[in-house]
């Protein structure tokens, strides 16, 4: 299968998860991993699966990542899509306002899921939610392993 993994990342956490997913799937598939600002729409179209990952910033995905996802669906409506995000563990932050806002507005994958459904895209599997420890990371313990497991299960869904 031809698989594209497209991510955005400020501090490297989402990149690490994208690379872990890519490395896992490379064993049996043709996979490339790219930061969103280094990839062109033509590179995504025609793949069997495109996996999009974004850090959660102000309760949403980054504009660039979301725009690339929507443009990919428009260009190739049959493209299968999977999504993941990284996020702070708001439950562990002592800030009632932030907890309320996160509960109300959600995280990057909520934003991306809405964008896929609104664009008529084909969402495969459940979104992967990855926690970072502080606001800029690092990844919480076990999150890379969870991502590897998620990628393995995801691929079973489209075989
Ligand atoms: C300006 C800013 C806004 C953020 N907003 C949120 C947010 O709304 N919800 C959340 O869970 N985490 C938030 N975070 C934490 C990010 O999700 C975290 O930095 C990101 O997952 C790290 O991924 P990256 O290293 O790939 O950029 C924010 C962090 C920054 C610096």
- Per-residue pLDDT, 74: 96
Best residue among 7, 88, 134 to mutate for probing ligand 1, ranked by most atoms within 8 Å of CB: 88
Rounded CA-CA distance 54/49 in Å is: 17
- Per-residue pLDDT, 94: 80
Q: Say yes or no to pLDDT of 101 above 90.
A: no
In tens, the pLDDT along 104-128 reads 889 999 999 999 999 999 999 999 9
Cα distances from 69 to residues 53, 95, 99, 109, 116, in angstroms, run 10, 32, 28, 12, 8
Best residue among 57, 85, 101, 132 to mutate for probing ligand 1, ranked by most atoms within 8 Å of CB: 57
Q: Work out which ligand 1 atom sits closest to the CA atom of 10.
A: 27
Averaged pLDDT score across all residues of the chain: 95
In tens, the pLDDT along 55-99 reads 999 999 999 999 999 999 999 999 999 999 999 988 787 888 888
For residue 109 and ligand 1, the question of a CB distance below 6 A is answered with no
Q: Which domains does the chain have, with CATH numbers?
A: 2-158 (3.40.50.360)
Contact in structure between 76 and 46 (CB atoms under 8 Å): yes
């Amino acid at each position: 299968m031809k698989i594209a993994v497209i991510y955005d990342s400020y501090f490297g956490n989402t990149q690490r998860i994208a690379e872990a997913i890519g490395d896992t799937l490379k064993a049996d598939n043709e996979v490339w991993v790219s930061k969103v600002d280094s990839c062109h729409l033509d590179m995504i179209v025609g793949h069997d699966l495109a996996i999009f990952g974004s850090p959660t910033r102000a309760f949403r995905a980054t504009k660039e990542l979301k725009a690339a996802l929507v443009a990919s669906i428009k260009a190739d409506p049959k493209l299968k899509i999977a999504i993941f995000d990284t996020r702070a563990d708001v439950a562990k932050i002592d800030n009632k306002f932030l907890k309320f806002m996160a509960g109300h507005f959600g995280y990057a994958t909520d934003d991306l899921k809405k964008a896929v459904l609104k664009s008529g895209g084909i969402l495969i599997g459940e979104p992967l939610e990855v926690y970072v420890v502080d606001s800029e990371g690092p990844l919480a313990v076990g999150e890379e392993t969870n991502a590897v497991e998620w990628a393995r299960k995801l691929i079973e869904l489209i075989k």
